[in-house]
Structure 1
């Protein structure tokens, strides 16, 4: 028995030893063989077992070439390159003697090629739509990782369509002879589910509509399909907690509950709220080396003692204090916050600890991201320069000016340290927007009727930069409009810094014509042909002056025979030669979409006289617009316009085409176009007046995201026949109403309804008016 065990043990040890020798000898032999090939010349490179991919394509991926010396290291790198193509499931290398050298063969096992992609069970989405979603395509290599991504994308698409329970699988059918795989994607759509109702319970200190407004889970209606998503539900819980956090309920608990209709197609979502304790702000203390007066620091803190505690407002107060220090150049200032519940009264005590560090100065100003735009275009708008103390207001104003150029879609400022601790470089990051435009289309308005246009424009034009003609910040527009009542042709060019000097220079060449249409207030045909030259200069940060010389030939026709003699005397052609001076004060935060600030403008124009021409008159205008945002997204505009004109010299009256008109979409809504003010005694058509005064108040507010906006407005004003009646003439007309603004795929749509509050003396009835238009700007 003992001998048997000894023999058995010896047999086992012999077997293990053999296996070990086999394990270690094979690599060593291979290594020895590889070492034997090192340094030999490679006479030929071949590929073996490739079917779909040509040998030329495979060999183009490797760096080893015929004529190179054999290197195992280099061939290992080639193996990695071939695997990285994701064409193969396996690659190996054989080397054999060939013509006094070596022949190296890459032995490959190709991945299958995708043949047909088929779908089963899809009803809500077409096969074509699903194929467009996939990155895997027929006749391309089958990539399992990519296929998994495709399945995830298809599932995401179904969830967006209201099928959260969709189940998607796939089957692969390999044809080994052709090395092609058919993909069958099997879809179990299950039932489409929409959110029928969202309710909130347990909320005592927040109104239900305020909570519902912030939720991503929405009830199904006309503009929302009511798709349910679990991840959005989780986000909604956090949003509700955040709302309560803002009013001091830091311990709030929110539990969502789901209930389905009997047929499983309707979902009822309920959020149960347990508010818990509400915390108030206790003592607020400021510590550290504040440097700035404590009173000034406290003016930036909104969370006063006794108010509801809010983590969001706490962060905002901290940022406001830091911005205050930035304003004085303390760019490295640190503001720490400690908050603790006072056990005596249960309130939240707050301590701001401030370390201002040292004043930081601007080193270099570095511009990044301007691919087409010349660097000087950016630099000339900056209001902070090397050597200045960092100043938050100057940086903010620089950002506003850069946005107002209309050349960039995103602008940000950053800093980077230098070798000097008190000097930081200022980094200006810009992302250019598309500034060139070729557009054509049409629209309709209650004023211009149907209108078609073709326009070529470039806001970043450079007349000297051949051949691209871009990057100079100049504005070039060539536009043609042809419609039922007017035809316009216009070429406009403006350089805000002519030849690198801070003076605006530009010109317009145009021909405009308007057909007589009494229903929209045009009692005659009018054609204007001419142009103008413009010169402007910024006098201060917000004040600018402009001068314009205008030369026009104006032709008036189609005045009815029954019109008065004075009206008929306007018929014919005349030349207007005039010069205009204008001052403009503009503090708006954004000239394209203002939310705050104001713009004041006044101009005086002298026609004839020393400038010659056929008509002598003086015209003055003044406008003022104030913008204010409230309730975060409600924008109010208050606008006033005044005009005064008078003839002199050889002219007895101001020409009819240079007078003021009111009534309609852009002046006093509720009245017909141009029908407010003087009318001809013979034809009862509007003939304009020498003086005008208008006031407009409008509030625009969001209804549905960025698509639909609402508006309420009030307009008032009048036009007087003689300038002497300005302000004292009375007879004011006013209207009020509502409107909508819709951003549609074909262009922005605007609809207003105005109702006249005062009867127009020349009209028998007092009826409201609709004004609508489809155009390109919003």
Structure 2
């Protein structure tokens, strides 16, 4: 309010104080001859002058009066970037020269600390909630100052003071006067009721004359409560407060203690350790022994036991009080029954297959027992599935069926007839009724499903939004008759509104053209609030901005118009990463990565990567454009050099690669790759004459085109428990593009993961590859052939040593055909430790014509997985069921990640 009073006062008083000026309340006959903005600081670059003129609403030729000036000041204030707005006029040759004097809030660029010993700049910014580029408004500075003093007081500096000074160029100086750090006097314990445990005296004695710390006092209360819980006092009540101490710079802590009655908990019919009882039951969690807490504890106990595989049919409780001691005994009686695997059988399901019902309704294959508790929820889920698909009269009834000594849970489904959409009725306030009625033709006679209702709601919202209306609420009424559903649409609307200006406030490095590609909003048309939400989503999704604030304030003087104001704060532009790993053949390896996430301010990502190990050196520079063609076809250009020591040869590779992708479904992606590579293979371990070796070690030019199809429905990319992944790649290196050796490379991989019961996971994989050589005279380069053997393919072979071997050197030659199948059964052992049993089959072959059963490898083995929060650490032992010539028939591998 004081801002508006300041503005009005300046409008009335300032013109009278300045000689030669025309009062702001000039007659309507006067008009603006020119508009000038004087901004402090001069380097202000958050919004351009043309945008400020549009927001103010005063341009050359605009009639001037007091209301015009008031509305202009209000609209400028609404931008949220100015702490002071002043306006005055000067006579001009034709009208009045309007001058706005604006004082902008600075943006945080740098923090300078003075006498701050407890924090560095980065930690303090995080604690205070400050970010580089943030507007330093009075509210932001006040909140940061309060938080700073709170941090110091929590650490015992009760007299600490802090001063925030905003210096030029966005520098913020923070100066702290810590004062003395207060100490704790001996803790005073006042026992209101009950018994004082010896542990209490020992715990409070340790705190005497230590520095004051709120965390220390909170830990004391937790320790006291735990001690009383362990001693059988779950309803203990502990309160603390601090008062001034007797000594200077000291605090006297006071603990008020009320232990409540002693309580013993006994569980009959279930096994729980005392620690689990204290952590699980609401009696301890709430510190309450009322009937309500006892009821919650019964539910907690049931949940706990069911989570450990018990079939709990009922949990009851009773209380017994010992008159002599006053102790209360609470006995929980748990009734259980043996866990069975009773199959669930479906009957009457015509429209859905069993697999569709299992996946759509989350139907288990079996249940531990048959009761209303287990069967009613299943019947309800199946009924909900049918209702959502349009079978509104569907009924699902369950029965226990026993035949031949076997019991099954039978869900009998009566589908009825499927409902369809009938007529539509639009509410009286529906805008553009005739135009929208035509859009409803595509909904009529369609099955009345939940998905259709959601699409219909979104269609109404999009239609109204595109015409400037804001849908506050959409009421959809349905009337059913003769398996038809007639719908009435009654939106509650606000508007219509027009967009006066779209104001983007962003002083970062991103250029305006790139921001406009993400925002895609323009002034002068209807306010499409859905487009505003989508713009906000695109800005966040770009990864360039860490904070996006969108406001749509009213334009004063034009009540049906709105300004769309977007305040953007860019995320940290540069990232640096490093890592270490281990691979069986490469050994230990290290990685360094540096990324510019907004290269040249054009939302491009420039990344550099360097990887080093005993066998491989890789350097790569890549540029990624996620917004090419409005984000539909992201493009990545990469240049990399690779030097690698393989088992039977060494290679140097220089590559220039371009890759794009198209998302054609929720789980489906097509990848397109165009590459140019120069490859030199040397030290090839083949028994060839010197002339052939010299020819094979000549540099190879390999331009290529590749198309890949990927469909991935796995629930976890690093450790999947369900879902599938299909990959098919065609790579062509034809001579017409300049390739020294023309060939086509096909590769296919299919992976499936199945959950068996609640603990087992079955993982299956099939890999097939085939290289078609278009030249009979020149073989495919050895670096482009298939190799197998190692921790992820055939786990009884050394790395890349499966398949054809050279008759002289006994080194792998690779092949033009690959067939490998893998099967794993994964199961938990103890906490993070899991186990696996696996079977690997297949091999690498010279070509498809040489594939035969006698050359197929068969491998069995077992392994352990340590499921860390990031990736599994894997230990596998594989044993070949056939002798491997001139090599061990077993291998042990330690590596990271699952094999497939």
Tell me the TM-score range normalised by the shorter chain: 0.5 to 0.7
Cα offsets for 1:553-611 (capped at 9, x unmatched)? 11223346977655564324222111123334445456565443433332222214111
Conservation of the 8 A alpha-carbon contact between 2:183 and 2:249: no
Range that drifts further, 712-721 or 568-577: 568-577
Conservation of the 8 A alpha-carbon contact between 2:375 and 2:398: no
Alignment counterpart, residue 673 of structure 2, candidates 548, 556, 569:
548
Alignment counterpart, residue 490 of structure 1, candidates 612, 620, 623:
620
Which position in structure 1 is the counterpart of 2:100? none
Q: Secondary structure at the match of 2:696?
A: coil
Which position in structure 2 is the counterpart of 1:713? 838
The 1:186–1:174 alpha-carbon spacing in structure 2 relative to 1, beyond 3 Å, is same
Conservation of the 8 A alpha-carbon contact between 2:184 and 2:211: no
How far 1:761 sits from its partner (Å)? 2.8
Q: Secondary structure at the match of 1:719?
A: strand
Q: Does 1:442 align with 2:442?
A: no
Conservation of the 8 A alpha-carbon contact between 1:251 and 1:277: no
Which position in structure 1 is the counterpart of 2:183? 115
How many correspondences in the alignment?
546
Cα offsets for 1:79-100 (capped at 9, x unmatched)? xx9xxx9x9xxxxxxxxxxxxx
Conservation of the 8 A alpha-carbon contact between 2:599 and 2:605: no
The 1:630–1:395 alpha-carbon spacing in structure 2 relative to 1, beyond 3 Å, is farther
Alignment counterpart, residue 893 of structure 2, candidates 771, 774, 777:
771
Q: Secondary structure at the match of 1:500?
A: coil
Q: Does 1:500 align with 2:630?
A: yes
| Structure 1 residues 487-566: aligned runs within 5 Å | 487-494=617-624, 498-500=628-630, 502-515=632-645, 522-539=647-664, 544-559=669-684, 565=690, 566=692
Alignment counterpart, residue 626 of structure 1, candidates 746, 752, 775:
752
Which position in structure 2 is the counterpart of 1:452? 590
The whole-number CA distance in structure 1 between the counterparts of 2:353 and 2:740 is 66
How far 1:752 sits from its partner (Å)? 1.5
Q: Secondary structure at the match of 2:882?
A: coil
The 1:256–1:710 alpha-carbon spacing in structure 2 relative to 1, beyond 3 Å, is farther
Which position in structure 1 is the counterpart of 2:875? 751
The whole-number CA distance in structure 2 between the counterparts of 1:394 and 1:557 is 63
The whole-number CA distance in structure 1 between the counterparts of 2:364 and 2:870 is 45
The 1:541–1:229 alpha-carbon spacing in structure 2 relative to 1, beyond 3 Å, is closer
The 1:121–1:542 alpha-carbon spacing in structure 2 relative to 1, beyond 3 Å, is closer
The whole-number CA distance in structure 2 between the counterparts of 1:351 and 1:579 is 55
Cα offsets for 1:398-454 (capped at 9, x unmatched)? xxxxxxxxxxxxxxxxx9951444569999999999979643121222122011112
Q: Does 1:738 align with 2:854?
A: no
Which position in structure 1 is the counterpart of 2:785? 659
The runs of 5 or more residues in structure 2 that have no matched partner are 1-145, 154-179, 188-198, 258-265, 285-296, 321-330, 400-408, 425-441, 456-470, 478-486, 492-529, 544-570
Q: Secondary structure at the match of 1:606?
A: strand
How far 1:659 sits from its partner (Å)? 0.7
Which position in structure 1 is the counterpart of 2:383? 321
RMSD: 6.2
Which position in structure 2 is the counterpart of 1:143? none
Which position in structure 1 is the counterpart of 2:458? none
How far 1:613 sits from its partner (Å)? 2.7
The 1:389–1:476 alpha-carbon spacing in structure 2 relative to 1, beyond 3 Å, is farther
Q: Secondary structure at the match of 1:635?
A: strand
Q: Secondary structure at the match of 1:325?
A: helix
Q: Secondary structure at the match of 2:855?
A: coil
Which position in structure 2 is the counterpart of 1:61? none
The 1:743–1:655 alpha-carbon spacing in structure 2 relative to 1, beyond 3 Å, is same
How far 1:237 sits from its partner (Å)? 2.8
The 1:714–1:729 alpha-carbon spacing in structure 2 relative to 1, beyond 3 Å, is closer
Conservation of the 8 A alpha-carbon contact between 2:396 and 2:411: no
What TM-score does the superposition give when structure 1 sets the normalisation length? 0.55
The 1:256–1:654 alpha-carbon spacing in structure 2 relative to 1, beyond 3 Å, is farther
Conservation of the 8 A alpha-carbon contact between 1:751 and 1:772: yes
The whole-number CA distance in structure 2 between the counterparts of 1:349 and 1:665 is 46
The whole-number CA distance in structure 2 between the counterparts of 1:580 and 1:633 is 40
Q: Secondary structure at the match of 1:319?
A: helix
The 1:524–1:276 alpha-carbon spacing in structure 2 relative to 1, beyond 3 Å, is closer
How far 1:543 sits from its partner (Å)? 5.1
Cα offsets for 1:273-304 (capped at 9, x unmatched)? 4459999x9xx9x9xxxxx9999999979899
Conservation of the 8 A alpha-carbon contact between 1:699 and 1:713: yes
The whole-number CA distance in structure 2 between the counterparts of 1:155 and 1:433 is 48
The 1:624–1:275 alpha-carbon spacing in structure 2 relative to 1, beyond 3 Å, is closer
Conservation of the 8 A alpha-carbon contact between 1:661 and 1:688: yes
The 1:731–1:241 alpha-carbon spacing in structure 2 relative to 1, beyond 3 Å, is closer
Cα offsets for 1:333-376 (capped at 9, x unmatched)? 9999999xxxxxxxx999999999997999xxxxxxxxxxxxxx
What TM-score does the superposition give when structure 2 sets the normalisation length? 0.48
The whole-number CA distance in structure 2 between the counterparts of 1:394 and 1:591 is 32
The whole-number CA distance in structure 1 between the counterparts of 2:541 and 2:277 is 34
Conservation of the 8 A alpha-carbon contact between 2:244 and 2:252: yes
| Structure 1 residues 156-175: aligned runs within 5 Å | 174-175=244-245
Cα offsets for 1:203-258 (capped at 9, x unmatched)? xxxxxxxx87xxxx569xxxxx98964638956632377589996x745558999x
The whole-number CA distance in structure 1 between the counterparts of 2:391 and 2:732 is 49
Conservation of the 8 A alpha-carbon contact between 2:718 and 2:871: no
How far 1:512 sits from its partner (Å)? 1.9
How far 1:704 sits from its partner (Å)? 4.0
Q: Secondary structure at the match of 1:499?
A: coil
Alignment counterpart, residue 309 of structure 1, candidates 366, 371, 378:
371
Which position in structure 2 is the counterpart of 1:60? none
How far 1:641 sits from its partner (Å)? 0.8
